[in-house]
Structure 1
Amino acid sequence: MRGIGVSPGIAIGKAVIHWKEQIDIVREYVDEPERELRRFRTALEFAGDQIRESYSRVLQNVGPNEAAIFEAHGLMLQDPDFTGRIERLILDESANAEWAVKQVSDNLVQIFENMDNDYMKARSDDVRDISERVIKLLLQAGGMDFTQLQEKAILVTRDFTASDMSQIQREMTLGVASEVGGRTSHAAIIARTMQIPSVMGAHGLLSTVGNGDLLILDGETGEIFVNPDEETLARYKEKQERYECFLGRLSEIRGKETVTLDGVKVELGANVGSSRDLDEVLKNDGEAVGLYRTEFLYLESPMLPTEDEQFEAYKSVVEGMDGRPVVIRTLDIGGDKKLDYLSIPEEENPFLGYRAIRLCLDRQEIFKVQLRAILRSSAYGNVRILFPMISCLEELREAKVILENTKDDLRQRKIPFDEGVLAGIMVEVPSTAVLSDHFAKESDFFSIG
């Protein structure tokens, strides 16, 4: 059986199945909508308390980046649009609270699942997580308890939410497997940070696996073996030992200088999508941010982020790196990364079409806002600007002209920035690679993509 490997490592152990209680929500008419509204608001308060407990537990046991997931859950509970829709159904249609919560959350889930972007699709899991929490409180229904494992085991269920992962006892959990989910889900993110071998999206898992079955999980390949033969078991025990030895060697070199065997010093950087990734970069001796993927700031926003919003996001990463280089890539949207609020024409090959630098050069008002934010952040550290998907010298030259005009604008407004900020290009299309000697004369640096 194969699913999606979402957290690397090999897990070998007995399966413990957690069946999530299926709650059927039916529409009921209430005689006192105001009383029903109070019942809903009480459930929201308790849900908020639970989320704060999850935040504290994850902050202590996992880390601040993962705890931020529950901050977002708490903000959703306070979102007047989300709660307002539920309250209007209760008051205007005399609907029972649990049905109103499910109607509103189902609509939001559908919106997220219809998006083309995998990251945004995965946000539907958060909506389900939050709504299930509120509905269970309304119905006074219990949930799964992962804290009562009597022996080390591999947890198996239909789906893992971030809330489920927050309860897990790391020392008793050998691995996790589920029928649904993927790499971009918050549950998967927490599993990776906790270094729990995990496979998600394994269709038919619950109809194949029984309590006590011996399982092998490969969190890299997504393979799952149920009651494996001796030969397979021996092979994966050896693979498990090799992986644990590899992790041990990695921990031994942490803190050492990054230098090749023949004495050449190398700058070892990491890719980030936001300041939430900085802890891992610094914990693992990152000497630079080699690529700051700014598109996540746009993908996570319901509208184009403002200059100040972008500036604060970039500044937090730049300051966090404390003088070490931060390479900020300008907006790379298009292809498999689409924004619902930004109309992009359909193309036969969108990966090489209207995207990244071509979109920015065409919609310069978007490009200039981002460049101003990046330049402003350069006053707080060592910033380098990276232009993506450059395919000809004309594109590079036009981008550099816009960059210089943006600098002039900041100078006139007496806004500080690093006058010596470097500007480079991604070498990721054949034409750029073939003409690399020409590009080298007009670029401060290359990033090979």
Structure 2
Amino acid sequence: MKKLSGLSASQGIAIGKVFFNLDEYLRVPEYRIKEDEVEAEIGRLDIAVGKTREELIELKNSIINENNIKEAGFLDAHILMLEDPELSKQIKSRIIDSYYNAEWALYETVKGFVELIEASNDEYIKERTFDIRDVAKRVLGNLLYKKRIDLKDLNEEVILIAHELLPSDTLTMDKRMVKGIATDAGGRTSHTAILARAFEIPAVLGLKNITAEVRIGEQIIIDGSRGIVIIRPDEETLEKYRKKLYDWQKKEVELLNLNMLPAETKDGKKILLKANIEIPEETESVLSHGADGVGLYRSEFFFLQPGKLASEEEQYEAYSQVLSSMGNKPVTIRTIDLGGDKML
């Protein structure tokens, strides 16, 4: 048995088997091409970029069809990154001037961009590197003809383990099958953390080396409330956490059975109980728990997508989705809240 400590990103307890979201794209080939192969190599890069753009548009449309308007917005930022002329220029320069293969030229260029961003003291800015790597890995996958693991096709309940969960992974995974999440990287303000809380999936992030400590199929415990992961638990620990999980679920059922009762003091004074949300999809949980409305829709997270600002139409769609879901219940929208801790 081994215990690891990380960041408590989403509360709750999960017990299950390890499933790896393997990151095979980190093994990038490096070799030199001949001068007369440069044009063909650039053509190969352009084809991979074009295919990636088609994939992102297809993914965006499928998400919009599921009425997740706001979540589809970050894919626009990914498309803009893909079409960034400076990024393209630097990649092609490595091919033309140094005769590197397209995969290595892309890897080295993106690595430079990521290192610059990670030098920032702002956690919000640093965590945007996940988006850049997400796009780069899609292009690399198309260059190497490797298909990404599709987390929407899981056929059993699992604890998802990864070095990092990219935005598109978190968004498309089958939430019914993913009972818990544990990653080497990531923070409380990352896309993974926000969605894990929204979908009530226990999550511990920033574990540094969880991927090196576990094996596929092993039993693991996620304690999202305490930021702890227990690998290969002994029977005593397992029984202890089974009881904790049972008590947690029992308490949740008891609260849900009371959710439609009025919140009143003993002397009959009514109290409005509202819930705070960060993404429109959380309104389902707000309603199922009997809240009297949305106390604060923290919409600044809508703007923390690299490469683009949310358009008026996108904001309208997101706010409309929340208002429509909440019916006649009140909603308070914090339109933007930027300062020293949050920067565009």
The one of the two structures with greater contact order (alpha-carbon pairs below 8 A, sep at least 6) is 2
Greater alpha carbon shift after TM alignment, 211-220 vs 32-41:
32-41
Please list, as runs of the form range in 1=range in 2, the aligned pairs for 1:128-207 lying within 5 A after superposition.
128-146=133-151, 151-166=156-171, 168-207=173-212
1:74 maps to which of 62, 74, 79: 79
Specify the SS of the correspondent of 1:50.
helix
Give the structure 1 partner of residue 10 of structure 2: 7
Residue 15 of structure 1: CA displacement? 2.1
Whether contact under 8 Å (1:66, 1:189) holds in the other structure is no
Residue 222 of structure 1: CA displacement? 1.8
Inter-CA distance 51–259: structure 2 relative to 1 (3 Å threshold)? farther
Residue 132 of structure 1: CA displacement? 0.9
Separation in structure 1 between the aligned mates of residue 106 and residue 168 of structure 2, nearest angstrom: 18
Separation in structure 1 between the aligned mates of residue 321 and residue 211 of structure 2, nearest angstrom: 47
Specify the SS of the correspondent of 1:206.
helix
1:26 maps to which of 23, 30, 41: 30
Larger Rg: 1
Separation in structure 1 between the aligned mates of residue 92 and residue 117 of structure 2, nearest angstrom: 22
CA RMSD in angstroms comes to 3.8
- Letter in structure 1 aligned against 2:85: P
- Letter in structure 2 aligned against 1:176: I
Residue 193 of structure 1: CA displacement? 3.2
Specify the SS of the correspondent of 1:170.
coil
Separation in structure 2 between the aligned mates of residue 100 and residue 236 of structure 1, nearest angstrom: 48
Residue 138 of structure 1: CA displacement? 0.8
Identity fraction in percent: 31
Whether contact under 8 Å (2:183, 2:205) holds in the other structure is yes
Separation in structure 1 between the aligned mates of residue 173 and residue 299 of structure 2, nearest angstrom: 32
Give the structure 2 partner of residue 16 of structure 1: 19
Specify the SS of the correspondent of 1:143.
coil
Whether contact under 8 Å (1:62, 1:194) holds in the other structure is no
Residue 240 of structure 1: CA displacement? 1.0
Separation in structure 2 between the aligned mates of residue 59 and residue 315 of structure 1, nearest angstrom: 11
Aligned residues: 332
Whether contact under 8 Å (1:29, 1:96) holds in the other structure is yes
Q: 1:390-415: CA deviations, max 9, x gaps?
A: xxxxxxxxxxxxxxxxxxxxxxxxxx
Give the structure 2 partner of residue 97 of structure 1: 102
Residue 123 of structure 1: CA displacement? 0.9
Separation in structure 2 between the aligned mates of residue 259 and residue 218 of structure 1, nearest angstrom: 33
Residue 214 of structure 1: CA displacement? 1.8
Residue 203 of structure 1: CA displacement? 2.9
Separation in structure 1 between the aligned mates of residue 67 and residue 164 of structure 2, nearest angstrom: 20
- Letter in structure 2 aligned against 1:235: K
Give the structure 2 partner of residue 443 of structure 1: none
Separation in structure 2 between the aligned mates of residue 169 and residue 315 of structure 1, nearest angstrom: 24
Greater alpha carbon shift after TM alignment, 64-73 vs 228-237:
64-73
Residue 313 of structure 1: CA displacement? 5.3
Give the structure 1 partner of residue 128 of structure 2: 123
Please list, as runs of the form range in 1=range in 2, the aligned pairs for 1:297-312 lying within 5 A after superposition.
none
- Letter in structure 1 aligned against 2:229: I
Runs of 4+ aligned residues of structure 1 deviating over 6 Å after TM superposition are 308-312
Specify the SS of the correspondent of 2:19.
strand
Specify the SS of the correspondent of 2:128.
helix
Separation in structure 2 between the aligned mates of residue 319 and residue 226 of structure 1, nearest angstrom: 40
- Letter in structure 2 aligned against 1:140: Y
Give the structure 1 partner of residue 253 of structure 2: 248
Separation in structure 1 between the aligned mates of residue 256 and residue 89 of structure 2, nearest angstrom: 50
Residue 99 of structure 1: CA displacement? 2.4
Structure 1's unaligned 5+ residue stretches are: 341-449
Give the structure 1 partner of residue 219 of structure 2: 214
Inter-CA distance 254–216: structure 2 relative to 1 (3 Å threshold)? same
Residue 328 of structure 1: CA displacement? 4.4
Whether contact under 8 Å (2:13, 2:224) holds in the other structure is yes
Specify the SS of the correspondent of 1:280.
helix
TM-score (ref. length: structure 2): 0.77
Residue 156 of structure 1: CA displacement? 2.4
Inter-CA distance 164–268: structure 2 relative to 1 (3 Å threshold)? same
- Letter in structure 1 aligned against 2:339: I
Q: 1:52-73: CA deviations, max 9, x gaps?
A: 3433555567944433333332
Give the structure 2 partner of residue 376 of structure 1: none
Specify the SS of the correspondent of 1:224.
strand
Inter-CA distance 59–12: structure 2 relative to 1 (3 Å threshold)? farther
Greater alpha carbon shift after TM alignment, 109-118 vs 191-200:
191-200
Inter-CA distance 243–70: structure 2 relative to 1 (3 Å threshold)? farther
- Letter in structure 1 aligned against 2:32: E
